[in-house]
């Protein structure tokens, strides 16, 4: 069924279709309409779930961690400072291997306060051991939320579904809502190997020592380092799992095909823009304009940011002469995080494309298509000042 | 309270394996063993970082026989909320959820989550074992460290501020059961946990818990010192049952009996060595006034 609704309602609808059992959230702009919608769905009886209106984001994720440990499918959502307030719990959820799904409605981080969109919030959490997926439009939000539970539960790693605050969360777009029956056929019931139960007691997340130790039967148990190694190994495995689940979603629902990155006119492109989120759709206009000018350009929206799909980057983008990374986040004192990741992925390639980095849109600074066009065109035509120093679009010093 | 449990009627089944990592003379060892008997096997524990984390054992060995979720320091009551949410979602509401935290994890870093959970009316038992400092990290002052106490962060003059009255703060949430207890009177604690299990909504039990290494006394005196805290009227055993306050057990006897002077308690522990005679007199006066207030009840 097609409806016209906001990105936040698309996310909430995905959570309902995925039959999340425990939802905990604390209000923060621009996430609020998502949690309002979920509380309405639960309060009206349209959705069978426990909605817990916690007193902080730290507690929101605490509820999800505990609920997931006790064997229930758990969901939360937040933005910006709320995500940062969760930080300790974000690491904890990954270390405890809990398949929680969280929507991050991307917003800039204070200080100074901003409620507007950029990607610094979720990018700052890239090394926590969560899978990160970025959606480009409302359809991708609902589809990705449903898939996220499947991915998380397959590899026992939590998943962030990131989408742009306001640009997607508060705008209205038509999208298709999958049938509940089809989602039920696609998404297996949550069946954890272990969950908190008095019939099968265990002491979870207890203190580990630096080395491995035998258990009471004399069998060696993995230590902290082995546990963390396994998290990394399963994160790497998650790349193929994301692809496999996308194929299953295509079969069940009829949409998909770009599980790792969404490429537009990339195959014969000499210059390819690379970015996260809805910006990649805005860049399609720029690509079309430059193509009309005779410059063979394309754009790739990275969907799976963690684990980073380095092999897909090589296979799909390394044929270009240049990659131009447009980013709404920055590793301060260095360069854009995605830029560094793209360069790192390309290192094994002998005949590498050059890579440019643009920083733009911080704190919701308007991203004007003519500015994107100018920047992209400059990168395609002027190779005089290639450097690692990121260049800024829309900066008014 | 109904029939009082005695050592003869206490269940024999142990829910703590023999041998744990607590210090000799640890008050927590006593109440953990007896408390788990009261909670029973159909219980899920939620524990933040504290001495209990260590007592329960280092991976992959555990002394507890109950399922236990170790959680981050600030999140105990929120995590208990999450367990309850999952149990409701799965129709497993009969299982008891008990959060068990130290005084720092309750009165300081954990109080926001605890307040939120009490306000929401979550159906759990929250047990705070109060050894009156951050003992697991090496005796730093906490919100419940009493005035005058030497800790590693109040090393010279002792703590200048008063002990935070956590049970009163929790009672102000209007929950149906708040009680205090002491490791020196474990059967009283047993009965209070049993009673808490019959009440729905949040239940809060604050347990005074002598700590030989943190308080500076010989491990064999744990029970004696716990009793002295009560007998001097410094630490009071009571319950607030559906809003009704009453002293219970040993503190109730003090209503008509004679309290020992507070100085008798202070001289048993090296942590009080910074207290001057004047300060002790001042504390004695405030304790006398507190008890006059009880008599007005």
Report how many domains make up chain A: 2
Nearest-CA distance B94 → chain A (Å): 11
Q: Is there a single domain that holds both residue A279 and residue A175?
A: no
Residue A248, token pair as written in the block: 């299953």
Q: Is there a single domain that holds both residue A166 and residue A312?
A: no
Q: Is there a single domain that holds both residue A26 and residue A137?
A: yes
Report in angstroms the alpha-carbon separations of A278 from A90, A380, A395, B275.
25, 22, 20, 65
Among the three residues A144, A171, A186, which one is the final residue of a domain in this structure?
Answer: A186
Domains of chain B with CATH codes: 27-296 (3.40.50.970)
SS3 B64: strand
Residue/partner pairs of A285-290 with CB below 8 Å, 24 or more apart: A285/A369, A286/A369, A286/A372, A286/A373, A286/A376, A287/A376, A289/A373, A290/A373, A290/A376, A290/A377, A290/A380
For the residues A65-86, what does the mean pLDDT come to?
Answer: 98
Q: Is there a single domain that holds both residue A85 and residue A182?
A: yes
**pLDDT for B2 beyond 70:** no
**Rounded Cα–Cα distance for residues A283 and A271 (Å):** 12
Residue B155, token pair as written in the block: 């090393």
Q: Is there a single domain that holds both residue A298 and residue A388?
A: yes
pLDDT at B257: 82
Q: Is there a single domain that holds both residue A23 and residue A130?
A: yes
**pLDDT for A84 beyond 70:** yes
Q: pLDDT grade, residue B297 (50/70/90)?
A: low
Q: Given an 8 Å threshold on Cβ–Cβ distance, is A198 in contact with B57?
A: no
**Cα radius of gyration rounded to whole Å, chain B:** 18
Q: Which of B74, B81, B90 sits opposite A52 (nearest CB)?
A: B81
Q: Given an 8 Å threshold on Cβ–Cβ distance, is A66 in contact with B42?
A: no
For residue A237, being part of any structural domain is answered with no
**pLDDT tens profile B160-189:** 999 999 999 999 999 999 999 999 999 999
**Rounded Cα–Cα distance for residues A241 and A235 (Å):** 10
**pLDDT for A327 beyond 60:** yes
For residue A311, being part of any structural domain is answered with yes
**Residue of chain B whose Cα is closest to the Cα of A54:** B116
**Rounded Cα–Cα distance for residues A131 and A304 (Å):** 8
For residue A222, being part of any structural domain is answered with no
Q: Given an 8 Å threshold on Cβ–Cβ distance, is A66 in contact with B65?
A: no
Nearest-CA distance A193 → chain B (Å): 15
CA pseudo-torsion sign A107, A108, A111, A112:
negative
Q: Which of A49, A201, A216 sits opposite B67 (nearest CB)?
A: A201
Query: Which of A257, A265, A274 is closest to A328 using CA atoms?
Result: A274
Q: Which positions in chain A touch B82 (Cβ < 8 Å)?
A: 22, 24, 52, 62-70, 74
Q: Given an 8 Å threshold on Cβ–Cβ distance, is A66 in contact with B120?
A: no
CATH number at residue A165: 3.40.50.970
Q: Given an 8 Å threshold on Cβ–Cβ distance, is B113 in contact with A74?
A: no
**pLDDT for B255 beyond 90:** no
For residue A251, being part of any structural domain is answered with no
Q: Which residues contact A259 (CB under 8 A, 6 or more apart)?
A: A242, A243, A245, A246, A303, A304
Q: Which positions in chain A touch B113 (Cβ < 8 Å)?
A: 55-56, 58-59, 62
For residue B57, the surrounding DSSP H or E stretch is none
pLDDT at A387: 82
Q: Given an 8 Å threshold on Cβ–Cβ distance, is A206 in contact with B46?
A: no
Q: Which neighbouring-strand residues pair with B29?
A: none
Residue B228, token pair as written in the block: 């002295």
**Residue of chain A whose Cα is closest to the Cα of B73:** A88
**pLDDT for B20 beyond 90:** no
**pLDDT for A262 beyond 80:** yes
For the residues A137-147, what does the mean pLDDT come to?
Answer: 98
Q: Which residues contact A347 (CB under 8 A, 6 or more apart)?
A: none
Q: Which of A311-320, B15-24, B146-155 comes out lowest in average pLDDT?
A: B15-24
**pLDDT for B1 beyond 70:** no
Q: Is there a single domain that holds both residue A56 and residue A162?
A: yes
Q: Given an 8 Å threshold on Cβ–Cβ distance, is B88 in contact with A63?
A: no
Q: pLDDT grade, residue B76 (50/70/90)?
A: very high
The answer to whether the CB of B231 falls within 8 A of the CB of B257 is no
Q: Is there a single domain that holds both residue A6 and residue A140?
A: yes
**Rounded Cα–Cα distance for residues A254 and A247 (Å):** 9
- Buried/exposed code over A282-305 (b: 16+ C-beta within 10 A; e: otherwise): bbbebbebbeeeebbbbbbbbbbb
The answer to whether the CB of B281 falls within 8 A of the CB of B157 is no
Q: pLDDT grade, residue A365 (50/70/90)?
A: very high
**pLDDT for B212 beyond 90:** yes
Residue A394, token pair as written in the block: 């829309």
Q: Which positions in chain B touch A89 (Cβ < 8 Å)?
A: 72, 75
Q: Rounded to 5 degrees, what are φ and ψ at A91? A: -60, -40
For residue B128, the surrounding DSSP H or E stretch is strand B125-130
For residue A150, being part of any structural domain is answered with yes
SS3 A397: coil
Q: Is there a single domain that holds both residue A164 and residue A294?
A: no
Residue linked to tokens 């503190």 = B251
The answer to whether the CB of A284 falls within 8 A of the CB of A273 is no
A131-134 β-sheet, strand order: A50-53, A22-25, A74-78, A101-106, A159-164, A131-134, A304-306
**Rounded Cα–Cα distance for residues B165 and A103 (Å):** 39
**Rounded Cα–Cα distance for residues A63 and A57 (Å):** 10
Interface of B with A (CB under 8 A): 41-44, 46, 53-54, 56-62, 64-72, 74-75, 77-83, 85-90, 95, 112-113, 115-116, 119-120
Q: Is there a single domain that holds both residue A178 and residue A35?
A: yes
Q: Which of A368-377, B191-200, B272-281, B286-295 comes out lowest in average pLDDT?
A: B286-295
Quickly list DSSP for B198-225: TS-S-EEEEEE---HHHHT--GGGHHHH
Query: Which of B118, B120, B126 is closest to B172 using CA atoms?
Result: B118
For the residues B223-235, what does the mean pLDDT come to?
Answer: 98
pLDDT at B295: 79
pLDDT at A144: 98
pLDDT above 70 as % of chain A: 100
pLDDT at B253: 93
Residue A263, token pair as written in the block: 């490429």
**pLDDT tens profile A207-217:** 999 999 999 99
For the residues B250-264, what does the mean pLDDT come to?
Answer: 94
For the residues A82-94, what does the mean pLDDT come to?
Answer: 98
**pLDDT for A19 beyond 60:** yes
Report in angstroms the alpha-carbon separations of B140 from B143, B154, B183.
10, 8, 21
Q: Given an 8 Å threshold on Cβ–Cβ distance, is B58 in contact with A88?
A: no
**pLDDT for B3 beyond 90:** no
The answer to whether the CB of B162 falls within 8 A of the CB of B174 is no
SS3 B167: helix
SS3 B242: coil
pLDDT at B251: 96
pLDDT above 90 as % of chain B: 95
For residue B292, the surrounding DSSP H or E stretch is helix B277-296
**pLDDT tens profile B89-135:** 999 999 999 999 999 999 999 999 999 999 999 999 999 999 999 99
Q: Is there a single domain that holds both residue A48 and residue A181?
A: yes
Among the three residues A186, A215, A246, which one is the final residue of a domain in this structure?
Answer: A186
For chain A, the average pLDDT equals 97
**pLDDT tens profile A205-246:** 999 999 999 999 999 999 999 999 999 999 999 999 999 999
Interface mutation vs chain A, best among B36, B51, B60, most A CBs within 10 Å = B60
Q: Which positions in chain A touch B71 (Cβ < 8 Å)?
A: 62, 65-66, 92, 205
Query: Residue A54's domain spans which residues?
Result: 2-186
Q: Which positions in chain B touch A212 (Cβ < 8 Å)?
A: none
* Complex confidence, ipTM: 0.97
For chain B, the average pLDDT equals 96
**pLDDT for A307 beyond 70:** yes
Residue A339, token pair as written in the block: 């830029």
For residue A234, being part of any structural domain is answered with no
Among the three residues A129, A151, A186, which one is the final residue of a domain in this structure?
Answer: A186
Beta strands in A85-141 (DSSP E): 101-106, 131-134
CB pairs under 8 A between A and B: 174
For residue A195, being part of any structural domain is answered with no
pLDDT at A55: 98
Per-residue DSSP letter, B73: G
Q: Is there a single domain that holds both residue A151 and residue A268?
A: no
For residue A65, being part of any structural domain is answered with yes
**pLDDT tens profile A265-292:** 999 999 999 999 999 999 999 999 999 9
Q: Which neighbouring-strand residues pair with A262?
A: A301
Q: Which neighbouring-strand residues pair with B178?
A: B204, B240
CATH number at residue A349: 3.40.50.920
**Rounded Cα–Cα distance for residues B180 and B176 (Å):** 14
């Amino acid at each position: 069924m097609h409806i016209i609704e906001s990105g936040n309602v698309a996310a909430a609808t995905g959570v309902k279709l995925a039959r999340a059992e425990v939802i905990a959230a604390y209000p923060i702009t621009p996430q609020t309409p998502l949690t309002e919608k979920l509380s309405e769905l639960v309060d009206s009886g349209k959705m069978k779930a426990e909605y817990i209106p916690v007193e902080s984001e730290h507690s929101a994720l605490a509820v999800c961690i505990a609920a997931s440990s006790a064997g229930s499918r758990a969901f939360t959502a937040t933005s910006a400072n709320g995500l940062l307030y969760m930080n300790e719990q974000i690491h904890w959820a990954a270390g405890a291997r809990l398949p929680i799904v969280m929507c991050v409605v991307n917003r800039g981080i204070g200080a100074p306060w901003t409620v507007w969109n950029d990607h610094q919030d979720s990018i700052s959490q890239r090394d926590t051991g969560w899978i990160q997926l970025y959606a480009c439009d409302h359809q991708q939000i609902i589809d990705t939320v449903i898939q996220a539970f499947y991915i998380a539960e397959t590899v026992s790693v939590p998943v962030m579904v990131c989408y742009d605050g306001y640009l997607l969360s508060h705008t209205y777009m038509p999208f298709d809502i999958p049938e509940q029956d089809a989602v039920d056929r696609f998404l297996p019931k949550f069946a954890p190997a272990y969950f908190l139960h008095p019939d099968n007691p265990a002491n979870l997340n207890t203190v580990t020592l630096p080395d491995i130790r035998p258990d009471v039967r004399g069998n060696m148990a993995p230590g902290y380092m082995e546990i963390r190694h396994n998290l990394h190994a399963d994160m790497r495995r998650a790349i193929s799992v994301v692809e496999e689940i996308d194929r299953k979603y295509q079969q069940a629902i009829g949409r998909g095909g770009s599980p790792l990155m969404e490429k537009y006119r990339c195959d014969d492109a000499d210059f390819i823009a690379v970015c996260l989120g809805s910006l990649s759709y805005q860049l399609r206009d720029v690509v079309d304009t430059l193509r009309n000018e005779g410059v063979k350009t394309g754009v790739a929206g990275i969907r799976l940011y963690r684990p980073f799909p380095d092999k897909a980057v090589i296979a799909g983008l390394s044929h270009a002469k240049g990659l131009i990374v447009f980013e709404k986040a920055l590793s301060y004192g260095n360069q854009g995080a995605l830029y560094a990741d793209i360069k790192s992925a390309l290192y094994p390639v002998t005949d590498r494309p050059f890579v440019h980095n643009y920083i733009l849109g911080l704190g919701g600074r308007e991203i004007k298509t003519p500015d994107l066009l100018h920047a992209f065109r400059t990168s395609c035509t002027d190779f005089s000042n290639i450097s690692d120093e990121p260049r800024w679009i829309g900066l008014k010093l | 309270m109904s029939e009082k449990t005695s050592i003869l009627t206490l269940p024999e089944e142990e829910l703590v394996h023999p041998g744990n990592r607590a210090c000799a003379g640890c008050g927590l060892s006593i109440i953990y063993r007896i408390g788990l008997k009261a909670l029973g096997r159909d219980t899920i524990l939620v524990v933040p970082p504290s001495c209990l984390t260590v007592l329960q054992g280092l991976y992959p060995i555990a002394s507890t026989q109950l399922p236990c979720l170790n959680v981050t320091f600030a999140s105990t009551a929120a995590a208990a909320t999450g367990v309850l949410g999952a149990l409701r979602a799965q129709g497993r509401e009969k299982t008891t959820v008990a959060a068990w935290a130290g005084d720092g994890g309750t009165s300081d870093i954990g109080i926001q989550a605890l307040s939120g959970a009490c306000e929401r009316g979550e159906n759990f038992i929250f047990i705070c074992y109060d050894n009156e400092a951050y003992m697991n990290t090496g005796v730093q002052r906490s919100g419940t460290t009493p005035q005058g106490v030497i800790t590693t962060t109040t090393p010279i003059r002792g703590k200048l501020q008063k002990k935070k009255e956590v049970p009163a703060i929790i009672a102000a949430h209007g929950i149906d059961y708040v009680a205090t207890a002491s490791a020196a009177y474990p059967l009283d604690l047993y009965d209070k946990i049993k009673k808490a299990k019959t009440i729905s909504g949040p239940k809060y039990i604050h347990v005074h818990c002598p700590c030989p290494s943190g308080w500076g006394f010989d491990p064999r005196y744990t029970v004696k010192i716990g009793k002295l805290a009560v007998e001097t009227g410094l630490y009071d055993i009571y319950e607030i049952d559906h809003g009704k306050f009453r002293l219970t057990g040993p503190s109730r006897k003090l209503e008509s009996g004679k309290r020992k002077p507070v100085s008798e308690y202070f001289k048993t522990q090296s942590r009080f060595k910074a207290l001057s005679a004047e300060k002790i007199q001042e504390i004695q006066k405030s304790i006398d006034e507190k008890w006059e207030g009880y008599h007005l009840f």
